[in-house]
A and B are shown apart, each in its own frame.
Chain A
Amino acid sequence: MVAIVAVSIFAFSCATIDRVVVAPPMIPGAKYVGMETCGTCHEKALKDFKTTFHARISIPDPKGKREGVGCESCHGAGSLHVEAGGGRGKFIINPMKNPEVCFQCHIDKQAEFNMPYHHPVKEGRMSCQDCHNPHGEDIKLAKGKFVNRNNENCSQCHREQTRPHVFEHAALREGCTTCHAVHGSINSKMLVQRDTNLCLKCHAQAPSAAPPAIQIDTGGTHNARLSQGSCMSAGCHTAIHGSNANAHLRY
């Protein structure tokens, strides 16, 4: 059916047209103008570019012949933007509104956002720039509330999970990504594993009793408990990000 519709559309639209369609995120009709032209108006951005981590991997062009390096590799060819006198969104790509730009290089991340559980980037509710600064510096600048401390990005939205607790879960010292696949996952809550493997990778304990047994501290064998569910999803160690009531992270 789809093939018939496609062939029909193609057959009935054989008249010559004078338009060009381009795959996103390209800008139809635009040509590359070079970084120096961008710097005419965006002087500070160009000056700061050399301090960015994207500059670290950008390929230098000693002869100035390669097109689309530097600013235009992410923001698209700039000729129409220049001709229009600049302006927000005028013939220029804003990666904050279109993650396709980032996906051109980070193709594995596009695949992760295609998994059932993901941050709503492709839905337009978030952008890559909410967590990553593409103009971010290789050297640390002391800006922001947390100054590049651990879990800084996540805590901007997930305060409940990253706030201090009376009894902390030391896993948060390792970072949120120890347990969560932050771009997308096949597991609910974007967990990297959705079972006992997730917890035992840190909490496996050398046994004194003969196998088979999963023993955790003085709790003795956890076989009966783990046969019902994994540590936090079995309704036991439910305060997985930290507890204000119980040192075992129950409740």
Chain B
Amino acid sequence: MKKISYIILLVALACWSWTARATAAEAATEKGSNPEFSVTPVVTYVDVSGNASKFREHWWMKDGISGGIERFELHQKFGKDGQFNVEGRGIYNQRDYDVRMELVKPDFGFLRLGFTQYPKYFENTGGYFAPFAGAPIASPFNSWDVLGRTPQLDIGKIYFDAGLTLPNLPKFTFGYEHQYKDGSKNLLEWGTVRGTIPAGPISPNGDTSKKIFPALKDIDERVDIFKLGVEHTIGPVNLGDDFYFEKYGNETVRSDDSTHYLADGTMKTVDIKEDYYHDLFSNVFHVDHHVNDKVYWSAGYLFTHMSGNSDFAETTYGSLGGLGAALPGDAMYLIPRINLRQESQVGNLSVMVGPFADLTGYAGAQVEATDTDADLSGNYGTRAAPSLRYYSTGLSKRATEETAGLRYTRIPYTTLFAEAKWNQQSYGQQVERTASTSDWGVDADVNRQQYTAGFNTSPWARVTFSSQYRYSRNDNVYYTRYNPSADYASFIRDQEFVTDEITSKLTYRPFNRVSLALKYQLVSTSIDNTTEPVQFTGTTSLHAFDYYANIYSLNATWTPINRLYLTGLFSYQDTTSTAYDNGSNIVVPYKGGVYSAIGSAGYAIDNKTDATAEYSYSRSDNYDNNGFGTTAGTDYGIPYGISYDLQGLTFKLTRRINDHIVVGLRYGFYKYNEANTGDINDYTAHLASASCTIRF
């Protein structure tokens, strides 16, 4: 990837050379300008004690020493309005690169190319079950460190865009983009850790299994994208057509379900290898027309076609074969070929009129038809006892969506607005399987409504108040053709989602140097289901879910003196999620508070030296120990929620040595405490960094 950075920099150098010559040629007419260049080398050291993988995931940076170019920029104007810009960063030990080059001459065209990559880190721990913590095992059972694997995913793209934008002629654009994700990530599909809890006050006891063993997925995803566009303006009418082609491939291996026996350290794992590829092309034609100052309309049509294939293999390894002794075991779900196709057409029409007497209205409609079908054949048994199956599936979607809104501004310094959205969807699903007596599937009708109304007002220049109410309702009706001899189908007959949401915000500037903002949100969601009872004796309704949240946010900015500013944010959200539990202890409400606080300050120590400090704090207290108790024989679930304190503090000093050099020193302190996981996820970290910005 370093080579790509160098190639882009070489191209940038060539372009800069050309623009510099153009600038020199134009110097006599004073159209050009001198280039502006800055570069900031940096070196950083991060020391972590505790769970380093958790630190990496939280703060998106790796511990240890790293260095490179924190930022570089080159800007040069040429000609009447031409611009040449290069900017980016390159922190080599962090695998963090960003190089962007842009050459723009508005009445001629543009060229943009770049490369960007950043790592996404994942913690390598799974879940935690306190009664297992004292088990006599040699290494931490809840970490992939036992297998020497630390998940990290490099996410990046290389892109190129060019356009011809000559006046009064159609504008052409062409682009290519290569996106990738490479590495591994953690999963929440945790495997079994099995241990024996002695008889005593804790229930469950005896031979007990909890799904807390971590899981990983190796990913090699690549996307190649080609884009071609043409756009032309004829009077007040804009016409355009965009062609898009995407070649996608993703090869993955999930190290998924496992069983880890605490007693002797043996384990077995299940690897799922899945490769998937598709080609997708789409074409969008669009037109929009400013008829006059009060009427604007647009319309478009999309056609997209996708054709893909996949394979799938699940293999069980090391059945009780001992830690690290991964032996090929049995295989099932061996599907060498899966074919998928999808075709979609979308059309839309929108219009905006006004303002007429300070009233502006808009409305739009969109229709969609999408058809997906697939077929596969494979071994759903074992190698010893194969069970061959063939599936053929089809899913059709027909959807319409309508939007209408109004904006009224007659009242001084006030806006009133209202909007309504409606969406109707119809699904037809068909599944055929060999060796079954009949097909099965689930058809569905979906009706969605959303209404929003609110206002913004500023009766005094220093006060702004806004508020809005939103009501959303989804009604899903399912028509199931159930075939017990074939396979699963949905038991849900009807679902009704209702959400009420109120948002209000007050902004107040009591003095020129003080600004305050207060925001409050109330969100309430309920879900009601009508389902088949287990024995299929008739439908029954139940109240399936309630969600309730109050969210308070306060922001303040204060500049007490010219050389000092202070900003602060505090937010608290109080949420409760309650699912239908039918009297079982296994499911308990998920509730608690989440606190966030951010503070920053900037201070000019003298004419050349600045100090800045930032502090962030996040806390949650919604842990519920539902994994075990002291009532013998009672079923318990798993521990819910999380209780943690996360803090980050950075302090930075910058000093301007002269007009060309600025040096900076930065110190960071990070601390995380997770009370509900026996301290296995805690860490404390220190960061020290030095940088020097050189400008020409």
Contact = CB atoms under 8 A, between A and B. Distances in A.
28 contacts: A19-B607, A21-B563, A87-B83, A108-B519, A120-B118, A138-B352, A139-B403, A140-B348, A142-B284, A143-B242, A145-B302, A164-B340, A166-B340, A173-B425, A174-B497, A186-B620, A186-B622, A200-B587, A201-B544, A204-B545, A208-B537, A212-B582, A212-B585, A213-B584, A228-B209, A229-B210, A229-B638, A245-B333
A223 B586 contact: yes
Interface of A: 9-10, 12-13, 15, 17-23, 47, 50-51, 55-62, 65-66, 87-89, 103-105, 107-108, 110-112, 114-117, 120, 123, 125, 137-149, 159-160, 163-168, 170, 173-174, 186-189, 192-197, 200-209, 211-218, 220, 223-224, 226-230, 232-235, 238, 244-248, 251
Nearest to A246: B333
Nearest to B484: A218
A17 B563 contact: yes
A159 B181 CA distance: 11
B618 A115 contact: yes
B529 to A, nearest CB: 6
Contacts of B505: 105
Contacts of A194: 590, 640-642
Contacts of B85: 88
The 9 closest A-B pairs by CB, nearest first: A142-B300, A229-B211, A111-B571, A211-B583, A206-B540, A201-B545, A139-B350, A204-B580, A111-B596
Contact of A149 (B338, B368, B573, B622): B368
Interface residues of B, number: 191
Interface string B461-487: 100101000000010000000001001
A114 B599 CA distance: 12
Contacts of A114: 571, 596, 598, 616, 618
B300 A197 contact: no
B407 A56 contact: yes
Contacts of A205: 491-492, 529, 531-534, 542
A18 B607 contact: yes
B215 interface: yes
B586 A196 contact: yes
Given A193-B590, A223-B635, A206 B542 contact: yes
A215 B290 contact: no
Contacts of B694: none
A223 B563 contact: no
Contacts of B174: none
Nearest to B455: A57
B109 interface: no
A193 B604 contact: no
B590 A111 contact: no
Contacts of A245: 312, 314, 333, 335, 338, 376, 378
Contacts of B363: 139
Given A87-B83, A174-B474, A251-B333, A107 B517 contact: yes
B190 A211 contact: no
A207 B563 contact: no
Given A9-B603, A57-B417, A245-B335, A144 B517 contact: no
B644 interface: yes
A208 B348 contact: no
B606 interface: yes
A144 B40 CA distance: 37
Nearest to B190: A233
A134 B581 CA distance: 42
B101 interface: no
Given A168-B395, A197-B587, A139 B606 contact: no
A59 B446 contact: no
Nearest to A111: B571
A26 B285 CA distance: 40
Contacts of B286: 141-143
B205 interface: no
Contacts of B559: 22-23
Nearest to B636: A227
A129 to B, nearest CB: 15
B15 interface: no
B606 A140 contact: no
B430 interface: no
Contact of B491 (A12, A217, A227): A217
Interface string B388-406: 0001010100000001010
Interface string B351-372: 1100000001011101010001
A251 B254 CA distance: 9
Contacts of A87: 75, 77, 83
Interface in B650-688: 672
Nearest to B474: A174
Nearest to B555: A107
A217 B638 contact: no
A142 B215 contact: no
B212 interface: yes
Nearest to A57: B456
B351 A139 contact: yes
A108 B416 CA distance: 23
Nearest to A191: B188
B553 A111 contact: yes
Interface in B547-598: 547, 551, 553-555, 557, 559, 562-567, 569, 571, 573, 577-587, 589-590, 594, 596, 598
A196 B637 contact: yes
A116 B618 contact: yes
Most buried by A among B488, B497, B521: B488
B669 to A, nearest CB: 11
Nearest to A214: B584
A212 B287 CA distance: 60
B352 A208 contact: no
B110 interface: no
A163 B596 CA distance: 35
B541 interface: yes
Interface stretch (B5-13, B17-25, B142-150, B270-278): B270-278
Given A59-B413, A223-B635, A227-B586, A244 B376 contact: yes
B106 to A, nearest CB: 10
A123 B492 CA distance: 42
Contact of B274 (A62, A89, A146, A244): A244
A159 B583 contact: no
A60 B363 CA distance: 22
Contact of B583 (A20, A61, A142, A212): A212
B415 A59 contact: yes
Contact of A200 (B545, B547, B569, B596): B545
B318 interface: no
Contacts of B562: 17, 19-21
A60 B188 contact: no
A174 to B, nearest CB: 7
B290 A207 contact: no
A108 B456 contact: no
Interface in B418-477: 425, 427, 431, 442, 444, 446, 454, 456-458, 461, 464, 466, 474
Contacts of A230: 638
Contacts of A173: 425, 427, 446
Nearest to A187: B642
Given A17-B607, A19-B563, 14 more contacts: A23-B602, A57-B456, A65-B461, A111-B573, A116-B57, A123-B60, A139-B363, A143-B284, A144-B242, A188-B188, A194-B641, A202-B544, A202-B545, A246-B333
